[in-house]
């Protein structure tokens, strides 16, 4: 395998801004670069000018499909490197993975392997629109290998995802006269405490369902009692979303909460003295289990979301594995310290390419 070539691909990919919604330049570069190397590339429209790419070496419908995503979180920076690491946005999530896949497939092509495909999708970091479109348009492969930064561990399961917004309505007024006001924050906090301390939640990614409460807001001045307060809820699920929904609604029953469905980005609203819980059911996903593993290789569980469930495919074999560490993803080089940003270890990337090559041998 030509690891110098793989690292050059990684640098080239990092250098192109492909933050979600801006994947077009990277897609266009790959649509030029890969055919120049003997690949066949199909551009698959998704929405507006955004498009997925399907690359292969031949005209066959791919039997074994590699997959990762084109988009990254904001903002683009890099590339940079030293003797041990490659740095920059997407280094581990997932441009370093894409380069490892390309190298493994090039090596397999040189050995005469056929029936390989590489599906690159948009929107994984937000709404999974690329995976949904690909699942509807493309035939189901026999083998699907989804690349995410797993430290080259095979993930035997992926947690589900469920989000909601909890909103409290009150009556705003001057903070010097709380007796004539109704603080929305005071209404919100007891409900959040009930959710936060639920007996069925766990505090570790491997042990069960977890809850993250974020995006808290309430009031717009020190001297005003807030008339509206909101919080966002994100559950990482070890059970079906419907089961967690039932648990949460039971917990909130004493608070007489209005339950409804809403879009993920819909603004919160509640009448004075009321609590509203907006479920984002359209964006929910159940846990994915089991996912295939190779005997004798390290395994784990994905406590993060991927495109895997959004294809709605049921291939004969499916794998979730890749070089890099998810804890390095989405990070920024604060104060110019690149070690605090996103990077991939070169040895891990090489091991990932070899692992992908082994998967091709075992499943071809």
DSSP string, 110-179: HTT--SEEEEEES-TTTT-HHHHHHHHHSPPPSEEEE---BTTPEEEEE-EEEEEEEEEE-B-EETT-GG
> From the CB of residue 48, how many other CB atoms can be counted at a distance below 10 Å?
8
Whether 327 and 154 have beta carbons less than 8 Å apart is answered as no
Mean per-residue pLDDT, 265-269: 73
Q: Kindly tell me if the per-residue pLDDT of 78 is higher than 80.
A: yes
Q: Kindly tell me if the per-residue pLDDT of 4 is higher than 90.
A: yes
Q: Kindly tell me if the per-residue pLDDT of 58 is higher than 90.
A: no
Q: Three-class SS of residue 312?
A: coil
Q: Kindly tell me if the per-residue pLDDT of 264 is higher than 80.
A: no
pLDDT computed for residue 230 by the predictor: 96
**Token pair 């709404």 is at which residue?**
127
pLDDT computed for residue 22 by the predictor: 97
Q: Kindly tell me if the per-residue pLDDT of 273 is higher than 90.
A: no
What is the set of domains in the chain, with CATH numbers? 3-158+287-363 (3.40.630.10), 167-283 (3.30.70.360)
Mean per-residue pLDDT, 201-228: 93
pTM > 0.85: yes
Mean per-residue pLDDT, 68-89: 97
Q: Kindly tell me if the per-residue pLDDT of 29 is higher than 90.
A: yes
Q: Three-class SS of residue 211?
A: strand
pLDDT computed for residue 263 by the predictor: 81
Give the pLDDT band (50/70/90) at residue 272: confident
Give the pLDDT band (50/70/90) at residue 207: confident
Q: Kindly tell me if the per-residue pLDDT of 266 is higher than 80.
A: no
Higher pLDDT among residues 270 and 90, named by residue: 90
Q: Kindly tell me if the per-residue pLDDT of 125 is higher than 90.
A: yes
Mean per-residue pLDDT, 5-15: 98
Going from the C-alpha of 124 to that of each of 233, 239, 279, the distances in angstroms are: 20, 22, 21
pLDDT computed for residue 271 by the predictor: 86
Give the pLDDT band (50/70/90) at residue 55: very high
Mean per-residue pLDDT, 142-149: 98
Q: Kindly tell me if the per-residue pLDDT of 269 is higher than 80.
A: no
pLDDT in tens, 299-339: 999 999 999 999 999 999 999 999 999 999 999 998 889 99
Q: Three-class SS of residue 268?
A: coil
pLDDT in tens, 158-172: 999 999 999 999 999
Mean per-residue pLDDT, 13-36: 97
Residue 123: name the closest of 18, 9, 11, 265 by CA.
18
Q: What value does the mean pLDDT of the chain take?
A: 95
3-state secondary structure 233-244: EEEEECCCHHHH
Q: Kindly tell me if the per-residue pLDDT of 296 is higher than 90.
A: yes
């Amino acid at each position: 395998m030509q690891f110098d070539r793989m690292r050059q691909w990684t640098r080239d990919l990092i250098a192109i801004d492909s933050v979600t919604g801006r994947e077009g330049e990277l897609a266009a570069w790959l649509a030029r670069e890969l055919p120049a190397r003997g690949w066949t590339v199909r551009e698959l429209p998704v929405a507006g000018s955004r498009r997925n790419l399907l690359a292969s070496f031949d005209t066959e419908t791919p039997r074994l499909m590699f997959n990762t995503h084109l988009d990254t979180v904001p903002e683009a920076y890099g590339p940079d490197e030293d003797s041990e690491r490659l740095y920059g946005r997407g280094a581990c999530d997932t441009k370093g993975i894409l380069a490892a896949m390309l190298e493994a497939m090039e090596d397999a092509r040189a050995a005469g392997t056929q029936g390989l495909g590489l599906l690159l999708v948009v929107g994984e970091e937000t709404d999974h629109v690329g995976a949904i479109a690909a699942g509807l348009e493309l035939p189901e492969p026999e083998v699907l290998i989804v690349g995410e930064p797993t430290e080259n561990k095979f993930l035997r399961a992926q947690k589900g995802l469920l989000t909601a917004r909890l909103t409290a309505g009150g009556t705003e007024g001057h903070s010097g006269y709380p007796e004539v006001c109704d603080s929305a924050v005071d209404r919100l906090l007891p409900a959040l405490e009930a959710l936060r301390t639920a007996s069925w939640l766990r505090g570790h990614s491997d042990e069960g369902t977890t809850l993250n409460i974020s995006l808290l807001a309430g009031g717009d001045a020190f001297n005003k009692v807030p008339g509206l307060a909101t919080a966002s809820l994100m559950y990482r699920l070890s059970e079906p979303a419907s089961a967690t929904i039932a648990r949460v609604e039971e917990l909130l029953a004493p608070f007489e909460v209005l339950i409804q469905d809403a879009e993920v980005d819909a603004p919160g609203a509640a009448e004075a003295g009321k609590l509203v819980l907006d479920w984002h059911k359209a964006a929910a996903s159940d846990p994915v289990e089991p996912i295939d593993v190779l005997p004798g290789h390290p395994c784990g569980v994905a406590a993060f979301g991927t495109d895997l469930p959004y294809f709605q495919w049921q291939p004969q074999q499916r794998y979730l594995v890749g070089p890099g560490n998810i804890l390095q993803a989405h990070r920024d080089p604060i104060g110019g310290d690149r070690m605090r940003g996103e990077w991939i270890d070169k040895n891990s990337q090489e091991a990932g390419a070899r692992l992908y090559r082994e998967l091709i041998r075992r499943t071809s």
